[in-house]
Amino acid sequence: MNSDKEAADKSSGPLETTAGDLRRGDSSHHQEPYDNSRIILGIDPGTNVMGYGVLRVRGNKAELVVMGVIDMRRQKDMYLRLGKIFDRVTGIIDEYLPDELAIEAPFFGKNVQSMLKLGRAQGVAIAAAIHHGVPIHEYAPLKIKMAITGNGQASKEQVASMLQRLLNLRDDQLPHFLDATDALAAAYCHFLQLGRPETGARHYGSWKDFAIKNKEKIHGA
């Protein structure tokens, strides 16, 4: 999931995109007088494209609030990119008022420079959460994939497909950048740690279990 964000597509597009925006209330940033829901912000760190996803949890049920990406490819200066990460994560926290942050830990690969850059991006996002007093929970990529699909080596596409079923997402709610669904996966992984979930979707023991029971939906299964 922590693929090298330096290899991101060079195509033009908006600097930020969102999907499935179901904000609570208006943009005044104030919570309702009584709301027993819990908001979880998930982040997939990146230096070119950073994904974020927000879940609302009521009891044992989770629903999508918003997911999207912070696209920094047009900004050449690395330090200004870090500043943009801090500003946008701060803005997301101010707008959606998360109770907790679930963030993916940097993947320990062979490219030391990429690891350092991802570590900086993660650190800045964490600093924004600390600045707002938001509790932080860090999950390894393998743990997130295992929690969502039952397969620690699952692809981004497999993670996104499983999330679509678990959260009953429409096709038009799926983002162009899978960094967003990776971030949503971090949030859903944390949701699973809170207790036994209830969703309208059928649960499967693993990605293999899902593929076997849905061969018509999986190309090459």
Q: Could you confirm whether 104 is annotated as catalytic?
A: yes
Considering the candidates 21, 44, 94, 99, report the single residue annotated as catalytic: 44
**How far apart (Å, rounded) are the C-alpha atoms in residues 89 and 72?**
13
Choosing from 32, 35, 94, 104, the catalytic residue is: 104
d(Cα 181, Cα 69) in Å, to the nearest integer? 9
The catalytically annotated residue of 71, 100, 179, 182 is: 179
44 is catalytic: yes
Establish how many alpha carbons lie within 13 A of residue 206's alpha carbon, considering only the half-sphere containing its beta carbon.
Answer: 8
Residue 175: burial class (beta carbons within 10 Å; 0-12, 13-18, 19+): buried
Is 157 among the residues known to form the active site? no
CA distances from 16 to 6, 46, 52, 95 (A): 17, 14, 11, 15
Cite the active site residues: 44, 104, 179
